[in-house]
Amino acid sequence: MKEYIEKFLRFLAIERGASLNTQAAYRNDLYQFLNHVIDRDDKTNVDNWNKVDEKILSSYLAELGALGYSATTRARKIASTKSLFNFLLDDGVLSKNPTEGLNSPRTGRSLPHVLSTGDIEKLLSAPLRCSTPEAVRDQSLLEMLYASGMRVSEVVSLDIDDVDFIQGSVRCFGKGSKERIIPVHQKALEVLQLYLDKFRPQMANSKSGNAIYLNHRGVRITRQGFWLVLKSYAEYVRIPGKITPHTLRHSFATHLLTGGASLRHVQELLGHTSITTTQIYTHLTNEYLREEYNKAHPRAF
């Protein structure tokens, strides 16, 4: 069971860009929960995550209350546990999520960071200052990430055969190797076609295989490599706040919903197993619309 906690923590660090403090907090919370499960092992015979049920979760909540934790701390520990189980569900480890009905103490809601459409435009235009193979690759990566809402791990895993230029779509394999077909707008496809026709051949070698996005060694770019690319462009165009590849995924979902897309449609595009995972964006769009209103309306002071 520990290996899945470590896998989840790596996901937090690499794909979500969680700070060291956040990673440490999640590690502490999840191992505390695991110790609770193990302490009950003689009675429940729990030796894998599929055996964790609502009864165990209820006893864990009771333990947190008995230990005198504040509402904020209990909420964080519950959120850590729910995040782990959502990850296990998306990864195909679980067939159902026992934390779905788990309630947290009311402490206010922390919403994901979303870029404005203006900041998105600045970010997507940042690589255009150069015409090197790496710069065109970077522009295609950024365009593809924002056009599709894919996770960074899904984008860097794309092979040439995964793109259908005629249908205007890409095929990706998400958590648990679940396949989904995502429509991609023409601009992103045009930049990708330019990269594939003119610049990828300059970067490729015998080790490149069918990978679309290559690094300077001619092999598939890594998630960490792309994270550094994104960070450098965000700093170059002076976009405030911390930006990770997941920020573009959040922005993709939020901008679709504010543009009128249905929640179910966005859920399908993001590859969320549960609609509850996608529902965070309904709160986010309300907040986003309020901010845009306050910035745009002449009497909104």
Give the residue numbers marked as catalytic: 151, 175, 246, 249, 272, 281
**Do 78 and 61 touch, CB atoms closer than 8 A?**
yes
> What does the pLDDT look like over 208-245, one tens digit per residue?
999 999 999 999 999 889 989 999 999 999 998 888 88
Is pLDDT at 119 greater than 90 in this prediction? yes
Residue 198, pLDDT score: 96
Domain residue ranges in the chain: 2-90, 117-295
> What does the pLDDT look like over 63-116, one tens digit per residue?
888 888 877 888 888 889 888 888 888 878 877 888 877 776 655 555 678 888
Query: Could you tell me the two tokens for 186?
Result: 């023409």
As a whole number, mean pLDDT of residues 179-201 equals 94
Please give the Cα distance from 58 to 67 (Å, whole number): 14
As a whole number, mean pLDDT of residues 252-278 equals 85
pLDDT band at 133 (very low <50, low <70, confident <90, very high): very high
Class of domain 117-295: mainly alpha
- In order of 13, 20, 130, 224, 249, the CA distances from 16 in angstroms are 6, 12, 28, 11, 10
| Side chain identity, residue 50 | N
Is pLDDT at 294 greater than 80 in this prediction? no
pTM: predicted TM-score of the whole model, two decimal places: 0.64
Q: Which of 294, 270, 241, 237 is nearest to 118 (CA)?
A: 237
> What does the pLDDT look like over 136-165, one tens digit per residue?
999 999 999 999 999 988 999 999 999 999
* 172 DSSP β-pair partners: 180
Please give the Cα distance from 206 to 219 (Å, whole number): 9
**Do 74 and 105 touch, CB atoms closer than 8 A?**
yes
* 9 DSSP β-pair partners: none
Q: What is the architecture, at CATH level 2, of domain 2-90?
A: Orthogonal Bundle (1.10)
Local structure of 91: helix, strand or coil: coil
- In order of 43, 132, 225, 231, 264, the CA distances from 228 in angstroms are 47, 17, 5, 5, 32
